[in-house]
Amino acid sequence: MTKRESSKRTFEDLAEKLHQLNTGAAPDDIIDDAFVDALVEWLGPAESISSEAMHFAITQLQSAMKDGGRVAAIRREYSHAAEEKTFGQVMNEVRTKAGWNLATVAQKLGSETSLVDRLERDLVPLAQLTVRQWADLLELFCVRLEEFARFATRTAFAQALQKELGGAYARSRTAANSAQHGRELGHAIARAFPHRDKSANAPAGIDQTLIDRLGAELRARQRPDLLK
């Protein structure tokens, strides 16, 4: 094969793979060393990067590496203590032990401080965050998918409890302990603890679709360690 033919062949392979990527093929199935070599060759020499930009990227990566190690150590150390916790409580525990404030976490997640605050207080409904936002949280706080399912179930339960009991408690504070308020509180408790009340529906767990999609997102992010 002549050099020209070989070059044409490489180009055809690259064009075919780019077409596949463009039509939705997973990068994992397409991108290998040959693809990268061809792409880099066709795109030409890499542009030079200023020393400031290079220095900033190095510092940022070293800082991310240090944070990742610290969070993983905290999670390992306190994993036994997280058994009965909600996702927000785990977030709060890791954040305070890592010495981060709310703004630091918000910056790492690319979100707002108020969202982080509400997440820590379990005020954000699970369905309100996108799969990608949950994946960011799992990566940042080194939470495995199986742990997330447990924490999220507790979070959902805590939110249901807040919703059911919060209103009744607020109303009961505005007046004397009337029979009406007592009944309201009783009904709220019955709704909040349906497993104690056989007539009620089973407690709602978290949506399995969320877990499945989160698993797919973590796989796409090359994080099989968080799938265990």
Partner 1 sequence: MAKWLDAAAEAALVQGLRDRDPDAAADLVRLCLPELLGTARQSGLHDQDAYAVANEALERAVRAIDSFRPRPGATVRSWLFRILFNCIKSAARKEKRLRAHEVTGIEFGESAVDRDTEAVEGDPVVAPAVPTPITEEHVPAPIALAVVTSVLLDCMSPRERDVMTRQGHGMSDEQIAADLGIRLGAVRAARLRARKRAAEALKDIAPTLDETIQRRFRKLLN
The binding site for partner 1 (CB under 8 A) comprises: 8, 11-12, 14-16, 18-19, 21-24, 27-28, 31-37, 39-49, 53-54, 57-58, 60-62, 64-66, 68-69, 132, 139, 220-225
Find the shortest distance in angstroms from Cβ 140 to partner 1. Answer: 9
Find the shortest distance in angstroms from Cβ 152 to partner 1. Answer: 21
> What secondary structure letter does DSSP report for 202?
P
Residue (122 or 136) nearer to partner 1, CB: 136
Find the shortest distance in angstroms from Cβ 211 to partner 1. Answer: 19
State how far the Cα of 61 lies from the Cα of 83, in Å rounded to an integer: 32
Find the shortest distance in angstroms from Cβ 90 to partner 1. Answer: 18
Q: Could you give the C-alpha distances from 189 to 93, 107, 144, 184, 186, in angstroms and in order?
A: 28, 39, 32, 9, 5
Residue (181 or 223) nearer to partner 1, CB: 223
Instruction: List the structure tokens of 181.
Output: 């308020």
Query: With contact defined as beta carbons under 8 Å apart, do 218 and 145 qualify?
Result: yes
Residue (102 or 131) nearer to partner 1, CB: 131
Residue (44 or 99) nearer to partner 1, CB: 44
Residue (18 or 126) nearer to partner 1, CB: 18
Give the Cβ contact number of residue 219 at 10 Å: 14
Strands (E), 58-184: none
Query: With contact defined as beta carbons under 8 Å apart, do 218 and 149 qualify?
Result: no
Find the shortest distance in angstroms from Cβ 129 to partner 1. Answer: 14
Interior/surface letters 165-191, b for 16+ CB within 10 angstroms, e for the rest: beebeeebeeeeeeeebeebbeebeeb
Find the shortest distance in angstroms from Cβ 32 to partner 1. Answer: 5
Residue (149 or 216) nearer to partner 1, CB: 216
- Give every CB contact of residue 221 below 8 A, 6+ residues apart in sequence: 135, 139
